Every structure is written in structure tokens, then in C-alpha cells.
Amino acid sequence: MVVASSSRLRLEGKGTKAEGVDGPDGFLVYAGSLARKDTVPSIHAYGRELRDTLLAAGVLVADGDHYRLTEDHLFTSPSTAAMVLLGRTANGRIEWKNSDGQTLKALQEQALNDE
């Protein structure tokens, strides 16, 4: 289930402030979003490798105490996006929220009920 593309979502956490939108092809995070610079030891290897790939490609760059996304980036899922940005394993369906504080999960469930 995909929430309408006009539903701009936010992710905030330690060293992280990002905006994105859930879409049919994945989860798009907007340029300028800030990611936590360090990772926790328990992050999945996939998350660490993806961060390293984005850093090597210049999609993530050092910006003071954070990394900054230099361009809009499409992640395979909201959880992958949240994991890369937060530097830890994360459930994107509960981490990404709209301006009213509703989680992506709640918005998806509401959209299903409205069908």
C-alpha cells in the first residue's frame, strides 16, 4: 500500500532531520535531508554498506556534525531510508511521520480503510 504521493513525511532522530515521500517505486528522500554521521554497532551490514556507497558516490556528504543528502534519492523502502539516515536499524513505517505526527503505517492503514 502506497500513501498518496502528496503526503510529505518527516524523519527526526539523533542527528537526523529528513523529508521524503512514499511512492510506487520506493521511498524518495529529498536533497538537503540530514543524516546521523555515526552508526550504532548493531546496524545491519546492508545499511552500513549502503551508507558507504552513497558517501563514495557523493550522494551523502559530510556537513558539520551530520551527513547531508546532495540530491533526491530513491530508497527501496521507507525502512531502508530510515536505517541509512538514522545510522541504526529502523522500521520506516513507524519512524516516518506526517506533520500531524501520524506514522506512515497509520496513513497506510487509513488509506486501506478508505478504499
Each residue's pLDDT expressed in tens, for the chain with a length of 115 residues: 444 445 899 999 999 999 999 998 999 999 999 999 999 999 999 999 999 999 999 999 999 999 999 999 999 999 999 999 999 999 999 999 999 999 999 998 988 887 7
Residue type, 75: F
Q: Of 99, 76, 75, whose CA–CA distance to 12 is shortest?
A: 99
pTM: 0.91
What cell was used for 29? Answer: 528522500
Contact present, 27 and 77 (Cβ < 8 Å): yes
Q: Give residue limits of the domains in the chain.
A: 9-114
What are the grid coordinates assigned to 98, written together?
Answer: 506526517
